Amino acid sequence: MRLPEGFKELISEQFPSEISEQLMDSLMSKVSGRHAVFHKMTPDEWMSSVPHLLEFTKNPRVAGGVFFSEGYMFSHCPGYYSGLYYPQEASASEVVSLLPDNLNLVLDLCAAPGGKSIQLSQKLSFGGCLISNELLPKRAKILSQNLERAGVQHRVLMSNKAEELNSIFGPIFDAVLVDAPCSGEGMFRKDPDTVEEWSLKQVKICVDRQKEILSAAAGLVAAGGYLLYSTCTFNRDENEGQMEMFLASHPEFQMVSMIRLWPFEVPGEGHFACLLRRRDAFLSPAFEPQKNEKAKTCFDLPSVVQEFLLPTGSFEQGRDGFWFYPHAIKKHLPFSKAQRVCYEPGIRIFDSLSKPGFTHALSLILPPGVWPEALHISDDQLFSFLRGETLNTDLSPGVKQVLWENLPLGFGKQIPSRLQNMIPKGLRTFVPRTNLPARPNVQVLSQTQNP
């Protein structure tokens, strides 16, 4: 790879020679290992129940972070399809840990494809809500699929400009993440196109765009709330320089911490992150169940599922079905308006009103034991089910939540002698079993018997 001359000059002007030389050397070396973050259980929990399927080493710097062995395809483990883990670059995975836990309202302003949103969902307090925003509708769709697979329950998806969000919400968020579009110098090793696209002019364009996004983001942070800024680029202008400009024009914020993750010092491709806090005051009050609100019940939805969902959200009749909408955001954005301004106002639980069918999204947010009837499938049935095939089963009639190793995979409907597959057609993609490379972990897969 040939690094752009302008990039080398910029870095050597901005950093001491020992940094710039080590950076240039590391950029000419091999890309870092394949990294993912476990979401639905810890790597230790997974290893103690299903040790044969995945080969990984833990990343001690990231809770739930693991490196897969070389050549490993993330899609080889079916756990990928139920959000057991999400592939995320190692240094990018360190950013969200700068925030405290137990946040009530969190906004991810530049969210696609969604790795940091999934991590942010684990920072929410009981009943808290994550608003994930992605400006580009095509990328918002990918974001939606990733959050659905991860089973993030209290989520609302938007696809707006930062200034538009500012006028919709105002300063209500306990934390806002700006994982900014940047010149991507940290992607040089992974993606040769970023090397071709890099120029000083492009850095300047990024600086201006980040400045605009940050200035709108500032108006979304509640008093006492956090603004977390990050990029995957190295130059000072988009990082420390950007933060200095921001603090000079926003005296209501102060810096809490700043990290530089160089690819020659930590595993991964490199990242920058800075945590700021709005001075004074307090975070928004903790979530309280809305006792006085008369909960709308949802026809056909089993009562145990309603009891599980209703403490932290309401069922709303919307343009294309019934939605689960988190209480935490409702008082700031009524559902009638959310329908108009959101890409997805919560979780759709019924497909349509005319011919109601439980959605795939619903099947993925319910932990094992909530849906009244579950079907725990064996390794042999797993691949067929993920491909969308019907299974030969003889159960009582009705909809079953299909689980593999206690991970929800979707719904199936028992009709005489078979289970109809309810995974939507667009999501029925999986490496055919016969195409899987002959790897020890995959061979063992066919020998194991599940309950």
Q: Which residue has the tokens 């942070």?
A: 221
Using CB under 6 A, which of 114, 270, 318, 408 touches ligand SAM?
114
| Residue 208 identity | D
**Which of 293, 292, 310 has its CA nearest to residue 301?**
310
Position 113 contacts ligand SAM (CB under 6 A): yes
Please identify which residue in 94, 148, 174, 179 interacts with ligand SAM, judged by CB under 6 A.
179
Structure tokens that stand for 113 in this block: 């494809």
Site string for ligand SAM, 122-161 (x = CB under 6 A): ------------xxx--x---------------------x
115 touching ligand SAM, by CB under 6 A: yes
Integer Cα distance of 447 and 430 in angstroms = 20
Shortest separation between residue 136's beta carbon and ligand SAM, angstroms: 4
Q: Is the dihedral angle over the CA atoms 155, 341, 285, 287 positive or is it negative?
A: negative
Binding mask 53-92 for ligand SAM (x = CB under 6 A): ----------------------------------------
CB distance 320 to 292 below 8 Å: no
Residue 313 is a binding residue for ligand SAM (CB under 6 A) = no
Q: 181 or 357, CB closer to ligand SAM?
A: 181
Say whether residue 351 binds ligand SAM (CB under 6 A): no
Contacts of 247 (CB under 8 A, 6+ apart): 253, 254, 255, 276
The Cα–Cα gap between 89 and 75 comes to 16
Minimum CB–partner distance for residue 332 and ligand SAM (Å): 20
Identity at 181, one-letter amino acid code: P
Comparison of 161 and 439: residue with beta carbon closer to ligand SAM: 161
Our CB check for ligand SAM shows the closer of 205 and 304 to be 205
CB of 23 to ligand SAM, least distance (A): 20
Q: Is 237 in the site for ligand SAM (CB under 6 A)?
A: no
Nearer to ligand SAM, 93 or 284 (CB): 93
Task: Find the binder of ligand SAM among 39, 116, 155, 400 (CB under 6 A).
Answer: 116
Burial 111-139 (b: 16+ CB within 10 A, else e): bbbbbbbbbbbebbbebbbbbbbbbeeeb
**Where in the sequence numbering do the catalytic residues fall?**
232
Site for ligand SAM in 199-218 (CB under 6 A): 209, 213
Give the separation between CA 350 and CA 363, rounded to whole angstroms. Answer: 11
* Nearest CB to ligand SAM, comparing residues 275 and 377: 275
Q: Are 96 and 273 in contact (CB under 8 A)?
A: no
Among residues 360, 379, 376, the alpha carbon closest in space to that of 433 is found at: 379
- Least distance to ligand SAM, CB of residue 170, Å: 18
Which tokens in the block code for residue 317? 């009749």
User: Which of residues 25 and 193 has its CB atom nearest to ligand SAM in the complex?
Assistant: 193
Closer Cβ to ligand SAM, 246 or 385, answer by number: 246
Smallest separation (angstroms) from ligand SAM to the CB of 209: 6
Q: Interacting stretch for ligand SAM, rule CB under 6 A, among 114-122, 233-241, 251-259, 358-366?
A: 114-122
For ligand SAM, the binding residues (CB under 6 A) are 109-116, 134-136, 139, 161-162, 179, 181, 209, 213
